[in-house]
């Protein structure tokens, strides 16, 4: 459901002429976020965590650091 709503709002924004944005939820409301803002800081993934291991397993990627 959540991904469907994000896609819905992304299409709505694009049809309204908006560019260089992503859709997110802030304070329980869907908002358009500028790409420049959401890419300012990098998020790091724990390469030894269970989540990353499950990503590698499900996609068949080798474990390379």
Position 65 scores a pLDDT of 67
Length of the chain: 65
Q: Average pLDDT in the 1-8 region? A: 94
φ and ψ at residue 40, rounded to 5 degrees: -65, -40
The pLDDT tens digits for 12-62 are 999 999 999 999 999 999 999 999 999 999 888 777 788 888 888 899 888
Position 63 scores a pLDDT of 78
Position 62 scores a pLDDT of 84
pTM of the model: 0.63
SS3 of residue 31 by DSSP: strand
């Amino acid at each position: 459901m959540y991904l469907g709503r994000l896609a819905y709002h992304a299409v709505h924004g694009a049809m309204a002429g908006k560019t260089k944005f992503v859709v997110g939820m802030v304070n329980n409301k869907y908002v358009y976020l500028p790409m420049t803002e959401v890419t300012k800081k990098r998020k790091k993934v724990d390469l030894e965590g269970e989540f990353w291991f499950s990503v590698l397993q499900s996609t068949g990627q080798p474990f390379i650091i």
